[in-house]
């Protein structure tokens, strides 16, 4: 893999189902194999497994090995990167990995370990062309924020990798993505969020577009309407479709106006687009013009007799 390697798509999975899923055209792991071939035709490829979020449970690593075999990556080219008693050979392997998978488990617990031991190496590998995959907690960690479950919002939010420019939530469709909704709304007008339902996934492409895998994605975002107002919108992205890279979203340097002159309107894809309310200003009452006083005729002087 060369220094000039192209940045690859990031695969965000709600759970491990998609590792063994095939769409109408090809299995997901075949697609990943093709991405790896772009930099190293014919391989061999090295695949690293980060199990920091689940205490390096061996049964989860076995699932990883089975998935990698579908991509033509042999077991002796895979490595569990130990999170507790990390060895030098683990770190060396990670520095050379062509594919890095962040496993599911406890988002905060895993992130604390990753941030301390592996964060910079994973970021370096990403920009040198490695394929990144996140499952459940791992998918959340690749986005903008994670959150602690038993703490008051928004104090429970914490920053994560931020390699994917969106807040990611997984298999929380039963709550109607309540925490995701609140988080995106809290993080200012240029933030996006994607909810990935159980069994589904998303692909984040280098052109900033998002693609739905197997099931629809739920997107929360502030966008500009035709009048230039910020609108908080909930949308669905169905499989086979992607978000449009050039959709205009409020940029980081353009903060929304103050609340008294800025109306946030929530809409769904099936709602009528919000119309800009007419602002009627009462005309100032003009003072009635005073009529000119009639000139009084001078009294005639009486002649003295």
SS (H, E, C) 78-113: EEEECCCCCCHHHHHHHHHCCEEEECCCCHHHHHHH
Asked if the model's pLDDT at residue 246 lies above 90, the reply is: no
**What is the 8-class DSSP label of residue 22?**
B
Q: Any idea which residue has 């197997």 for tokens?
A: 214
pLDDT in tens, 148-164: 988 999 999 999 999 99
**226/17: higher pLDDT:** 17
Contact (Cβ atoms closer than 8 angstroms) between residue 215 and residue 200: yes
Closest CA to 191 of 232, 237, 236, 238: 232
| Domain assignment of residue 272, yes or no | no
**Mean pLDDT score across all residues of the chain:** 84
The end-to-end CA distance of the chain, in Å, is: 131
Per-residue pLDDT tens over the stretch 276-305:
444 434 445 555 555 555 555 555 555 454
CA distance 151 to 157: 9
Q: Is residue 27 part of a domain?
A: yes
Angle between helices 88-96 and 119-127 (to 10 degrees): 20
* pTM higher than the cut 0.95: no
Which residue, 127, 117, 134, 122, is CA-closest to 1? 127
CA distances from 114 to 50, 130, 144 (A): 8, 17, 15
Any domain includes 147 = yes
Q: How many domains does the chain have?
A: 1
Q: Supply 270's token pair.
A: 């099936």
User: What CATH number does residue 138 fall under?
Assistant: 3.40.50.880
Quick: pLDDT tens for 107-142. 999 999 999 999 999 999 999 999 999 999 999 999
Cα separation, 218 vs 79, in Å, equals 34
Within a domain: 273: no
Within-domain flag for 216: yes
In a domain, 176, yes or no: yes
Tell me, rounded to whole angstroms, the distance of Cα 186 from its chain centroid. 14
Instruction: Among 65-74, 238-247, 254-263, name the one with the lowest average pLDDT.
Output: 254-263
Q: Decide if pLDDT at 273 tops 50.
A: no
Residue 89 lies in a domain: yes
66 lies in which domain range?
10-267
In a domain, 59, yes or no: yes
Tell me how far apart the alpha carbons of residues 159 and 162 are, in angstroms, rounded to a whole number: 8
CB within 8 Å of 99: residues ≥ 6 apart: 32, 36, 45, 46, 47, 48, 68, 71, 73, 130, 131, 132, 133
Q: pLDDT, tens digit, for every residue of 68-95?
A: 999 999 999 999 999 999 999 999 999 9
In contact, 217 and 227? CB cutoff 8 Å: no
Torsion angle, alpha carbons of 115, 121, 127, 130, to 10: -110
pLDDT at 2 exceeding the cut of 70:
no
Task: Using CB atoms within 10 Å of the CB of residue 1, give its burial: 0 to 12 exposed, 13 to 18 middle, 19+ buried.
Answer: middle
């Amino acid at each position: 893999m060369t220094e000039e390697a192209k940045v690859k798509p990031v695969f965000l999975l709600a759970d491990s189902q998609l590792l063994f899923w095939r769409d109408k055209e090809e299995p997901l792991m075949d697609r990943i194999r093709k991405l790896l071939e772009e930099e190293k035709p014919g391989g061999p490829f090295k695949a690293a497994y980060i199990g920091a979020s689940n205490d390096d449970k061996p049964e989860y690593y076995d699932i990883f090995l089975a998935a990698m075999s579908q991509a033509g990556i042999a077991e002796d080219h895979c490595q569990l990167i130990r999170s507790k008693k990390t060895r030098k050979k683990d770190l060396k392997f990670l520095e050379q990995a062509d594919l890095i998978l962040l496993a599911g488990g406890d988002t905060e617990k895993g992130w604390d370990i990753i941030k301390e031991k592996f964060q910079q190496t994973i970021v370096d590998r990403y920009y040198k062309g490695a394929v990144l995959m996140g499952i459940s907690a791992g998918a959340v960690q690749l986005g903008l924020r994670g959150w602690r479950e038993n703490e008051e919002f928004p104090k429970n939010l914490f920053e994560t990798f931020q390699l994917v420019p969106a807040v990611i939530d997984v298999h929380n469709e039963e709550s109607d993505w309540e925490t995701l909704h609140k988080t995106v709304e809290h993080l200012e007008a240029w933030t996006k969020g994607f909810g990935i339902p159980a069994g589904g996934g998303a692909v984040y492409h280098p052109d900033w577009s998002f693609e739905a895998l197997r099931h629809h994605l739920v997107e929360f975002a502030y966008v500009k309407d035709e009048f230039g107002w910020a609108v908080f919108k909930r949308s669905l992205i169905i499989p086979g479709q992607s978000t449009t890279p050039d959709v205009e979203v409020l940029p980081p340097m353009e903060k929304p106006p103050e609340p008294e002159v800025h109306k946030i309107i929530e809409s769904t894809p099936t709602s009528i687009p919000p119309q800009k309310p007419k602002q009627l200003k009462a005309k100032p009452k003009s003072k009635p013009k005073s009529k000119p006083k009639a000139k009084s005729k001078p009294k005639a002087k009486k002649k003295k007799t």
